[in-house]
Structure 1
Amino acid sequence: MSVANSRALIGFGDEAFKVAVYIEKRPPMPAWQQLDHLHVMQTGQINEINQACGNGWRKVFNVYGKVLFALPSEYYDFAKCAPDWQTFRDEQLLQAHSQTALLFSPPLLDKPKQLHIIAGRTYAKKLINDGLLSSQLTWLDDEFAISKSDKVIVCPYFDYRQLSNIKIALLSQLVADIFS
């Protein structure tokens, strides 16, 4: 693989994203295993993944919707784009003009207005150890780390038990801290 290809955005979502979530594993469906670009999701594709891959992926998309709705409204207007996070998830998340991405490739930190959320401490440490994340992270505890300069936050994996509503509120506060 060439260096150019290794630095391509690979995942789901809008190329003009303002918020990207980085997750290590792809949905275990043949269509997504060979994905080598940023795929703009179409209405219904998230539900197709949920149906085929089960509760784990349903949680990822649900938590992503909840996180977007919890972000500080002075910086992000996702909560103004739909009546609730469920509607946003079903009708806008990861689609064209959604300003959101779910990436399986390492973070590209070349655009200063983008927020980068790495889902899972283990994945973040793997990226660091593999030389794919050069941000100077400040670990706040065993689960959360932040780099204000690169607008990177490491948080628990997108699962209800790991990233509870209380921890989503903490994540939202960390976002406010990054932009303050």
Structure 2
Amino acid sequence: MKNIGVGCSKFTIAVYIGNKPSMLEYQQLSSLSPLTLGEIEMVNQACGNGWRKVFNVYAKLLYALDKAQFAYSTLAPTWQKYRERFLLQQDSQTALLFSPPLLSTAKQTLHIICGKTYAKHLLATGQLTANFIWLDDEFAIDKAQNLVVCPYFDYRQLSNIKIEKLASLLSLIDSQ
């Protein structure tokens, strides 16, 4: 198995999502490929508001992380500028993966599964082995594997308050 998705091959934060943009080039991906400047906007234009929300929530999450632990928010003056200039590009240390988690990767990597439904599907189909502790109905954590389950990257499901909660969980795991 290998990582399939978009982003930096040397990622330290990996987000796993159960769907892909409906554009042909993403449906046929067979590896991890960095995005280019302007590509997020191209996906947003072609695929609509759902993907805009995914990219926005990802950028907002990185911007919400503790600056002492994570340097993402020091690279751009706003999360919007970060999204446009750095998110999922070469050397960004971020990835959006359409393949199941490969948790044997570097121990310093933080893994985030978008959505309880997707996490349960991965567990039920044997594509993931994890010992989750469910913190509530939406968030679960497996500290030993640096793995968190959170609501899907959408404003209604992962509101700003929940983004802050996820950022706190990631800081907690990272400080182990």
Q: TM-score, normalization: structure 1?
A: 0.94
Q: In structure 2, what is the equivalent of residue 51 of structure 1?
A: 45
User: Identity rate of aligned residues, in percent?
Assistant: 55
| Contact 1:14/1:99 (<8 A) preserved | yes
Provide the rounded CA distance (Å) in 1 between the counterparts of 2:21 and 2:59: 17
1:140 corresponds to which residue?
135
Determine the structure 1 residue equivalent to 2:67.
73
1:176 aligns with 2:168: no
Structure 2 SS opposite 1:9: coil
Mark the runs of 5 or more structure 1 residues left unpaired by the alignment.
1-6
1:88 is matched with: 82
- Is residue 154 from structure 1 mapped to residue 154 from structure 2 by the alignment? no
Cα offset, 1:177, TM superposition: 1.9
SS in 2 for 1:161: coil
Residue 141 of structure 1: SS of its match in structure 2?
Answer: coil
RMSD of aligned alpha carbons? 0.8
Match of 2:107 in 1: 112
Instruction: Describe the SS at the equivalent of 2:145.
Output: coil
Q: Following TM superposition, by how much is the alpha carbon of 1:74 offset from its aligned partner in structure 2, in angstroms?
A: 2.5
Which residue identity lines up with residue 112 of structure 2 in the other structure? I
In structure 2, the gaps of 5 or more residues are none
Per-residue CA deviation, residues 92-135 of structure 1 (Å, 9 max, x unaligned), is 10000000000000111121000001010000000111111112
Report matched runs for 1:2-41 at 5 Å.
Answer: 7-41=1-35
User: Do the aligned partners of 1:156 and 1:162 also contact (CA within 8 Å) in 2?
Assistant: yes
- Does 2:165 correspond to 1:165? no
Runs of 4+ aligned structure 1 residues displaced above 4 Å come to none
Please, what TM-score do these two structures have when normalized by structure 2?
0.96
Q: Tell me which amino acid in the other structure corresponds to 1:105.
A: S
The residue matched to 1:64 in structure 2 has which SS?
Answer: helix
Partner Cα separation in structure 1 for residue 25 and residue 13 of structure 2:
24
Tell me, yes or no, if the aligned pair for 1:72 and 1:175 is still in contact at 8 Å.
Answer: no
Determine helix, strand or coil for the equivalent of 2:30.
coil
